[in-house]
Structure 1
């Protein structure tokens, strides 16, 4: 049975869309990790670093990636060992570690721009421009929905206390 055949009711479609987020993530990780020397999450961290004008600390990188500071540190350690980044104490806060590209990391980042286009072209090959625009708008709404879910969980926990 295909996904299209399963989606017969609105509730079933919601279930499939929700599960699909996790399934798609797992498939993307599996395919990406099979054909690259760097894990998908490490690649994401390297890409996220480009968004900062100055080396971010672990907390800022974690916020940008939507994960924990500890998760970023676990991703960063092998990248540091392989010479792509350095982890250094912040000049402003000695308790904070900042992530900086090394020369090897900057070179990877430059070369990775073409790789990113290759990945995006493959993933979005079956999408029209309008579908990409719609998917983007829907993804923004999903991000808001995730924030609403967190607020609902927090409220639920507060009510239990």
Structure 2
């Protein structure tokens, strides 16, 4: 049995479609992580995502804030950041705005990494999304943003 066959079997009702979409998101995430980790052995996909957040942040990025952005705990971010600090990509230090918080700062090695290596990731992204035309890509983007709205609703739901 192939995953496409299994998903197709779940296309008959809205309830089944929701289950198929949820399963597909989980499976796709695992497959993308495996592909990425095999392609670029220097860092993991999770480490790459943290580096991207550090690089793109216009303000000081604390461990807690990075955890919220990436959907994981402060402790997981600390572990990822510590590994990246040992590799020379980031520095972990005290936040300038809150002495109780730790922040992650980019190093010159991080900037060089994106200058030298990011083209390989962009090629992979183009390959991944080459199956979509411009209209489909816009629709997909819009739908993913709605998915985040649903996740936000689940996270802020008042348990009763």
Range into which the TM-score falls when normalised by the shorter chain = 0.7 to 0.9
Q: What is aligned with 2:68?
A: 63
CA distance in 2, matches of 1:93, 1:147: 26
Work out whether residues 89 and 110 of structure 2, in 8 Å CA contact, stay in contact via their aligned partners in 1: yes
Structure 1, unaligned runs of 5 or more: none
Q: What is aligned with 1:118?
A: 123
How many matched pairs? 155
The answer as to 2:30 corresponding to 1:26 is: yes
> Given the alignment, which residue of 84, 97, 102 partners 2:102?
97
Scaled by the length of structure 2, what TM-score is found?
A: 0.88
Q: What is aligned with 2:54?
A: 49
CA distance in 2, matches of 1:100, 1:85: 5
CA distance in 2, matches of 1:6, 1:53: 43
Work out whether residues 46 and 109 of structure 1, in 8 Å CA contact, stay in contact via their aligned partners in 2: no
CA distance in 2, matches of 1:54, 1:6: 44
Q: CA RMSD in A?
A: 1.6
Q: Which of structure 1's runs of 4+ aligned residues deviate more than 3 A?
A: none
Q: Give the 3-state SS of the residue equivalent to 2:56 in structure 1.
A: coil
Work out whether residues 11 and 17 of structure 2, in 8 Å CA contact, stay in contact via their aligned partners in 1: yes
Q: What is aligned with 1:132?
A: 137
Scaled by the length of structure 1, what TM-score is found?
A: 0.87
Give 1:5 deviation, angstroms: 4.3
Work out whether residues 62 and 102 of structure 2, in 8 Å CA contact, stay in contact via their aligned partners in 1: yes
Q: Give the 3-state SS of the residue equivalent to 1:50 in structure 2.
A: helix
